[in-house]
A and B are shown apart, each in its own frame.
Chain A
Amino acid sequence: MELICPAGTPAALRTAVDAGADAAYCGFADATNARNFPGLNFSRRELAEGIAYAHRSDVKVLVAINTFPTAGAQALWHRAVDDAVAAGADALIIADVGLIDYAARTHPDQRLHLSVQAAASNPDAIGFYVRRFGVRRVVLPRVLTVSEIAAITRAIDCETEVFIFGGLCVMAEGRCSLSSHVTGQSPNMNGVCSPASHVTYREEGGTLVSRLGDFTINRFAKGEPAAYPTLCKGRFKTSLGSGYLFEDPVSLDAAAILPGLRAAGVTALKIEGRQRSRAYIEGVVRGFREQLDALDVGEKPPADRLATLTEGQSSTLGAYRKNWR
């Protein structure tokens, strides 16, 4: 199975390559990718240099153009597609059906991957993208069990890629409006979930208070692990008490089920975290490289040492082991 690693900056890309990635994914520094954060992402020149660096180690570079073009402003997204192709991207990761159509028509030889943001979660939906646009790989939404992934993989004519580590979104890939409800900006349209410009943190006698816009998202007691200030992972006050309604603030860690994902026929394993540092990339990529190498030779995998890098210092298998229905 291929290990697909995040790269928010050229330095992170080089780190991913050196740590054992089979491919790195990245995006341009604008609203065309879903990690449009301050100080992050690639210029055109940086992308070309990054691709050259990766290719010298036989590592592929996938360019995420995975937000949804705004009506009347499609040129920004079309230019991103054209420039990524010109830079030598090994594949484009796209979510919007119109943009996939543009890429397939304009660059018929370019390998296309369907982004998780497209939320294609059944063989009929995936088959449409494969037949109509020649999509070669689908990144499956994080709502499926391993057995469902196996069934889908058997039923489709393209490769499947699944997330194995990192942040989890509320289970409506590509359709979440929580961030835009509070800030007017969303990951799908602007490339930012809970944008930093709307976030404030305050220490109140050892208690960390996180706010997004006018809303208090969470209050972490002294010593309690903290989490991102997203509405989906906010702690809500209800008549039954305070708690997490949408999701707990934890990270996905699927290290324990890598054999099952391989048996399911999955082609590629994706690590989330383009917003994270070189230290995260180094630790997670190297950790999973060791896990996969051990799996390949039938050895016992090394102990999972990634807990310190997880949100809330806690991890979950998420929907892979769904036990709520």
Chain B
Amino acid sequence: MPPVPTLPRLITRTLQPLPLGPLQLPLSLVLRSVVARHPHIFERLGEHAHKRFGLEPSDLPFSFVLAPHPETPSLVAVRSLPAGIPVRIAGPLLALLGLIDGSYDGDALFFSRDLVVEGDVEAVLALRNAIDDAGVDLVADTAALFGPLAPLSERLLAGALLRLKDVAGAAKHEGARTWN
């Protein structure tokens, strides 16, 4: 199990002033692709599919609100999570992505305090188990949006993610603590 890398503060600061508007369409498309390619997620989510989940990358200047409703799923970028959101899941971006692609264990991240969970724990477990079983591959699921260019897109996206991990792994983040 790899240690949890944190994005350099330079990236966080660079992203800070950028508007969130341009993110919304790509986020929506990626979520629809994930849902279309992994429809069994909803069987495991059950009643929790109708809840809202706040996803808070601790090394990004914005957060996400996920509403995995079977008919109208939505993923929206927000400056800060709305008050009263039923679930808050916070941690480094690459830890959150690692929970999705199966490279990290959620309980281990919780034990190491890299992952913070607040709110409806039952919904959190259902989401975690549904995603872990589905075998979501964000790179492949995103690349699938590009039709015949999917193989090329997948290579480019995988390379970009690898580069991001390299940058994060090499970064010295003040106060950062790996969990192994």
Contacts and interface: CB of A to CB of B under 8 A. Distances in A.
A308 B108 contact: yes
Contacts of B180: 307-308
B42 to A, nearest CB: 11
Given A307-B180, A312-B111, A313-B112, A279 B118 contact: no
B117 A308 contact: no
Interface in A178-215: 195-197, 199-203, 208
A293 to B, nearest CB: 20
Interface residues of A, number: 40
Interface string A265-302: 00000000001111110010000000000000000000
A227 B106 CA distance: 12
A26 B115 CA distance: 27
Interface string A64-100: 0000000000000000000000000000000000000
Nearest to A197: B122
Interface residues of B, number: 40
A39 B128 contact: yes
A218 interface: no
Contacts of B119: 200
A8 B19 CA distance: 41
A259 interface: no
B132 A11 contact: yes
B111 A278 contact: no
Interface string B131-145: 011110000000000
Interface of B: 1, 43-46, 48, 98-99, 102-108, 110-113, 116-119, 121-130, 132-135, 177, 179-180
